[in-house]
Amino acid sequence: MPDHVHLFIGSPPKNAPSLIVNWVKGISARKYNQRYDDRVKWTRSYYVGTAGSASKGAVERYIAEQEGGDA
């Protein structure tokens, strides 16, 4: 999907995933809206998962493989 975003973020456990998502959406929307005339419209939904036993490199490769895919 052209409007689909993958982010791989590390954070201390004290920061709730919902708080991090709100930060990312809020800051990115403000930056985008300052640069362009149209307004970015984030949905309220998001998905958060843990990397579990996967290495950082494995997660980064997965995200890189998603670029330009038809899935």
Q: What is the pLDDT of residues 11-42, one digit of tens each?
A: 888 999 999 999 999 999 999 888 988 888 88
Structural domain count of the chain: 1
Per-residue pLDDT of 1-15, as tens digits, reads: 567 788 888 888 899
Distance of CA 71 to the CA centre of its chain: 17
Per-residue pLDDT of 42-53, as tens digits, reads: 888 888 888 877
For residue 26, being part of any structural domain is answered with yes
Can you tell me which residue has the tokens 């149209």?
Answer: 38
pTM: 0.68
For residue 63, being part of any structural domain is answered with yes
Domain range enclosing 57: 17-68
